[in-house]
Amino acid sequence: MRTQVAIVGAGPSGLILGQLLHKAGIDAVILEAQTPEYVLGRIRAGVLEQVAVDLLDEAGVGSRMHAEGLPHDGFDLLIGGVRHRIDLAGLTGGKRVMVYGQTELTRDLMDARAAAGLKTVYEAKDVSVHDFGGTRPHVRYVKDGAAHEIDCDFIAGCDGFHGVCRASVPKNAIANFERVYPFGWLGLLSETPPVSEELIYAKTERGFALCSMRSHTRSRYYVQVPLTEKVENWSDAKFWDELRRRLDPQANERLVTGPSIEKSIAPLRSFVAEPMRFGRMFLAGDAAHIVPPTGAKGLNLAATDVRCLSRALIEFYAGSEAGIDRYSARCLRRIWKAERFSWWMTMLLHTFPDTNPFEQRALDAELDYVVHSLAGRTTMAENYVGLPFED
Ligand code: APR
Ligand code: PHB
């Protein structure tokens, strides 16, 4: 088989890229190790910056997001029992974010791909990438016991943090930058109305908590837990009890509890691989970088990577290599700003088990400064809604 772009991974990065290339008349095949149901079963954040919303419109998959997504103009920081609103729209000249679950977005992308008759190979096993250092790369995989090979012009590594593409790059050609945090987020999804119209990020002595939502009837809550915790040890009742202890009386009065639909613990990590291009193979999304979820940047970075990659590939087929040559540097500039923001939000809002008392006081003072200073709140708002995209 032959295609122009072989995309590895059918998460948001691979699916959005596939859609953008299709709109531009560039042929692509997606290889995904899992089943569609498995991909849809992963519960992840869903706060979209305006750049991501615009990109989904451009990809032709924005209609349900506009109908069912919830535009948010601000969020609350709850610090030591006191609320401070971050007025996103007021502080950024009217910018806002869109709350729309990644599961729904993935479903829209899958439906659009199927409707356009585009090829996705699910349950593609033993995917391997070859000869991306030359001009004729190819990808091999096994499907239903039979071996296949795809010749292509380019390989797009959209296969997430544990994927095969980054792992196939020679060690001396790639540098990794990493920070692992000594805690995770225990998340619970429930068919209950959200406790508040807007998200609440809470810092307490018992640890961080977040009140988020998927719709007017479905809520997503998180509490910070030590990495040693096991989800089996958290009954729904224990989760709700711990969440209550981290909220204020106003939230507790409104909190509606109910059985969990999903409950899991996710460790927090910051990670960047440099560069993101290796000859004719590009990394995009979680394959190249991970942010802790505190700033809600993961999906947005995936979207801006593939925005940049799709434009670079379109330029290549129109006769210029300038875009593919600049891909890595352009993406990394934006990625590092989101990495910095996510790390900063994480440092400010969590309880660290072994922090030096001086540093803990300094972080507390920084958070106090941020919420009480217009400049501080503006910095937080500007980063949260997404920094402008530099074309
Ligand atoms: N072969 C084929 N597919 C693979 C392989 C492989 N060897 N390894 C991984 N995959 C698939 C995974 O099964 C997954 O469906 O690649 C996909 C990668 O998807 P994601 O992990 O969702 O990564 P990405 O598309 O970059 O999306 C980033 O996900 O983690 C969140 O916060 C993050 O919202 C952001 C988004
Ligand atoms: C979520 O809704 O899952 C969510 C929202 C905001 C975050 C992280 C996760 O910062």
* Mutational test site, ligand 2, from 42, 43, 47, max ligand atoms within 8 Å of CB: 47
Could you tell me the residue range of the domain that residue 299 belongs to? 5-70+101-178+269-353
Q: Tens digit of pLDDT per residue, the chain (391 long)? A: 999 999 999 999 999 999 999 999 999 999 999 999 999 988 888 899 999 999 999 999 999 999 999 999 999 999 999 999 999 999 999 999 999 999 999 999 999 999 999 999 999 999 999 999 999 999 999 999 999 999 999 999 999 999 999 999 999 999 999 999 999 999 999 999 999 999 999 999 999 999 999 999 999 999 999 999 999 999 999 999 999 999 999 999 999 999 999 999 999 999 999 999 999 999 999 999 999 999 999 999 999 999 999 999 999 999 999 999 999 999 999 999 999 999 999 999 999 988 899 999 999 999 999 999 999 999 999 999 999 877 6
**pTM for the structure as a whole:** 0.97
- Taking the centre of ligand 1 as the mean of its atom positions, its distance from the CA of residue 42, in whole angstroms, is 10
How far apart (Å, rounded) are the C-alpha atoms in residues 128 and 142?
10
User: Is 200 inside any structural domain?
Assistant: no
Q: CA geometry: angle at 335 spanning 274 and 163, to 5°? A: 55
User: Is 114 inside any structural domain?
Assistant: yes
Question: Would you say the CB of residue 92 lies under 6 angstroms from ligand 2?
Answer: no
76-112 in b/e form (b: 16+ CB < 10 A) is bbbbeeeebebebbebbeebbbbbbbbbbbbbbbbeb
User: Is 203 inside any structural domain?
Assistant: no
User: Is 31 inside any structural domain?
Assistant: yes
User: Is 233 inside any structural domain?
Assistant: no
CATH number at residue 276: 3.50.50.60
Structurally, the chain folds into a number of domains equal to 1
User: Is 369 inside any structural domain?
Assistant: no
Helices (H), the chain: 12-23, 36-41, 50-58, 63-68, 88-91, 102-115, 164-167, 236-246, 249-254, 298-317, 322-349, 357-372, 374-385
Of all ligands present, the nearest one to the C-alpha of 271 is 1
Task: Output the pLDDT for position 391.
Answer: 65
User: Is 302 inside any structural domain?
Assistant: yes
Question: Would you say the CB of residue 16 lies under 6 angstroms from ligand 1?
Answer: no
Question: Would you say the CB of residue 102 lies under 6 angstroms from ligand 1?
Answer: yes
Starting at the edge strand found earlier in the chain, the sheet holding 28-31 runs 120-121, 28-31, 5-8, 154-157, 281-283, 277-278
- State whether residue 391 is helix, strand or coil: coil
Task: Output the pLDDT for position 42.
Answer: 86
Question: Residues with Cβ < 8 Å from 371, sequence gap 6 or more?
Answer: 77, 79, 84, 377
Q: Are 52 and 304 in contact (CB under 8 A)?
A: yes
DSSP secondary-structure letter at 42?
-
Of all ligands present, the nearest one to the C-alpha of 155 is 1
User: Is 196 inside any structural domain?
Assistant: no
